Amino acid sequence: MTFVQSIKHVLRNLTNFKGRARRSEYWWFYLFMVIVSVPLSFLITIPMIVAASSAINSAGAGGELTDSQATAIAGGILATYGLAFVLGLVVFFLQVAVWVRRLHDAGYSGHWLWFCLAGLSLVPFILAMFDSNVGPNKWGPDPKGRVGWPAQPGYAAQPGYPAPPAYAVPPAPPAPPVAAPPVQATPAAPPVPPPAPPAPPAAASGDYDPFAAPPR
Strand partners, 137: 140
Q: What is the dihedral of CA 12, 16, 20, 21, to 10 degrees?
A: 40
Q: Amino acid letter at 38?
A: V
pLDDT tens for 159-209 read 555 555 554 555 677 877 877 777 776 777 777 777 777 766 655 555 556
* Alpha-carbon distances, residue 61 vs 57, 58, 150, 198 (angstroms): 10, 9, 79, 162
pLDDT of residue 162: 54
pLDDT tens for 195-212 read 777 766 655 555 556 666
Pair 59, 69: CB distance under 8 Å:
yes
Pair 28, 2: CB distance under 8 Å:
yes
Q: What is the pTM of this model?
A: 0.58
Burial class (CB in 10 A: 0-12, 13-18, 19+), 154: exposed
pLDDT of residue 102: 93
Number of Cβ within a 10 Å radius of residue 24:
15
Distance CA 75, CA 63 (A): 20
Residues of the chain with pLDDT under 50: 61, 167
